[in-house]
Amino acid sequence: MRTAYTSDQIRAAEAALMATLPEGALMERAATGLAVVCARMLGGVYGSRVALLVGGGDNGGDALYAGARLAARGARVEAIAAGTRVHTGGLEALRRAGGRVVDPEGAAARAVLGAADLIVDGMVGIGGSGALREPYATLARLAAEAPGEVLAVDVPSGVDASNGQVEGAAVQADATVTFGAWKTGLLVDPGRGYAGRTELVDIGLGPHLPDPAVTAPQDADVAALLPRPGATSDKYRRGVVGIAAGSERYTGAAVLAVGGALRGGVGLVRYAGTAEPVAQVRARWPEAVITTLAPGEGVERVGRVQAWVLGPGLGTGDEAHAVARSVLASDVPVLVDADGLTLLAADRSLLHRSAPVLLTPHAGELSRLTDVPRDRIEARRLENVRQAAAELGVTVLLKGSTTLVAQEGRPVVVNPTGSPWLATGGTGDVLSGLTGALLAAGLDTYDAASAGAYLHGIAGRSGPLSAWDVAQALPEAARGLVNGRRRGVPAARLGR
């Protein structure tokens, strides 16, 4: 499990560790790790050109000390002092090693950045928040325009380390070296999109860290959650999921949701829908047990299930409302997606139930449920998913560029396997069916959402693809986890 922390949590842990170490030892550890990554990115240090963007905090000191090590190995290292002050010890070390300091204003800084093989961003530390001021904002833009690679120290300047928010200009890094523990802002968009490849340098914080605010599961964590049939298993013990989805207009949603459940390993699917989606589901999935609903009829005739999936392609009229009310009147966990969320937004009384509820909205659907503007949700995903889970009393899986799972009293789960290839019609229906299958198999809403998003991301890693392709890929994704054939999260997403 990858655990992540706010800047306040990190600073408290650093203070506790520094109290046990000689002065300067912690910065020495960080600078050494940073220099190693710089050398790796440069390929050959001797004769290379390195530009340091240096602020007045500890990240600037880390960059200066690392720059001194590179200069001692033959690199031409030039520091651009963005702040009104710089770390005195780091600056002296750089100058002793042959480095020099350049004023941030004028042509000299532009020339240094334009000629650099590597630009090291140490302008703003983990305590920074809000929009970058000048000259930081201009230097961030110049770094983005320069041909050399950009390496951020701890967190890209302009990214809030505690939540991933970006209020204005920010450094667009090719890679980020973070010290001691993962910062939440490196895992959550929009901040994650500025971090590039990320690498953790251990400086000894572990014993001083509190319980995490955010976690990101890895292969072994999800493999441990996945249900496995035993010698006495039968289709009922493996889980029976009910699916109320599809309509005359959206027949495909029913087919995909049922497919996600079946390919996700459930013991039995009971599908309930009107005549047209029933015909499509029967034709594609003969193993599903099907109940044809009359207009306005609920799901009382469907039979016993361990969990329900409600909403994909269901419609939002009176007949859909009747189905939703009957499903939510049951005493089993219910996953609500798509049109089901629209029905909930219009009739909040549907949520008045004692059994668990898992909502799987995208930002627009969450906006309708919470009356928070969509653009604010996108900009502050972590804050809004937490707030929604607490206010609605449910588990929320917020889909998007970073999929988040929130439940009051537990760390927010960041899914690390998401892929832009999943941004295509119908993939959410597959996710609903898959996650519903995990609910029916006995996982709680929090674990089912976390494991479902993770598997779904693996199945959608390579494209172009369709929702059908994702459903087809689910069994192999699960087998790869269970048999240990995958080696962690793809490097392009979270690094090594």
SS (H, E, C) 384-447: HHHHHHHHHCCEEEECCCCCEEECCCCCEEECCCCCHHHCCCCHHHHHHHHHHHHHHCCCCHHH
pLDDT given at position 486? 61
Write out the residue limits of the CATH 3.40.1190.20 domain(s) in the chain.
Answer: 219-487
Residues forming CATH 3.40.50.10260 domain(s) in the chain: 2-213
60-87, pLDDT tens digit by residue? Answer: 999 999 999 999 999 999 999 998 889 9
Instruction: Assign 295 to helix, strand or coil.
Output: coil
Q: H helices within 285-380, ranges in order?
A: 318-328, 339-346, 363-370, 374-379
- Could you list the residues known to form a binding site for AMP, using ranges: 399-403, 428
The pLDDT tens digits for 123-171 are: 998 988 889 999 999 999 999 999 999 999 999 999 999 999 999 999 9
What whole-number distance in Å separates Cα of residue 211 and Cα of residue 244?
Answer: 39
At 125 the pLDDT is 87
Q: Name residue 52's beta-bridge partners.
A: 79, 120
Query: What's residue 495's pLDDT?
Result: 34
In this prediction, the residues of the chain whose per-residue pLDDT falls under 70 are 485-496
Residue 128, pLDDT score: 85
pLDDT at 257: 98
User: pTM score, two decimals?
Assistant: 0.91
The answer to whether 267 touches 251, Cβ cutoff 8 Å, is no
Let me know: does 53 contact 121? Beta carbons within 8 Å: yes
Phi, psi for 216 (deg, rounded to 5): -130, 110
Q: At a CB cut-off of 8 Å and minimum separation 6, what does 167 contact?
A: 129, 130, 131, 158, 160
Report the binding-site residues for (6S)-NADPHX: 58-62, 125-131, 136, 154, 253, 313, 362, 429
**Which residue ranges make up the annotated binding site for K(+)?**
59, 121, 157
**Which parts are annotated binding residues?**
58-62, 121, 125-131, 136, 154, 157, 253, 313, 362, 399-403, 428-429
DSSP string, 133-184: -TTHHHHHHHHHHSSSEEEEESS-TTB-TTT--B-S-----SEEEEESSEEG
Query: What CATH topology corresponds to 219-487?
Result: UDP-N-acetylmuramoyl-L-alanine:D-glutamate ligase (3.40.1190)
Burial (0-12, 13-18, 19+ Cβ within 10 Å), 19: exposed
φ, ψ at 87 (rounded to 5°): -65, 115
Q: Does domain 2-213 have CATH number 3.40.50.10260?
A: yes
pLDDT at 414: 97
Q: Do 132 and 157 touch, CB atoms closer than 8 A?
A: yes
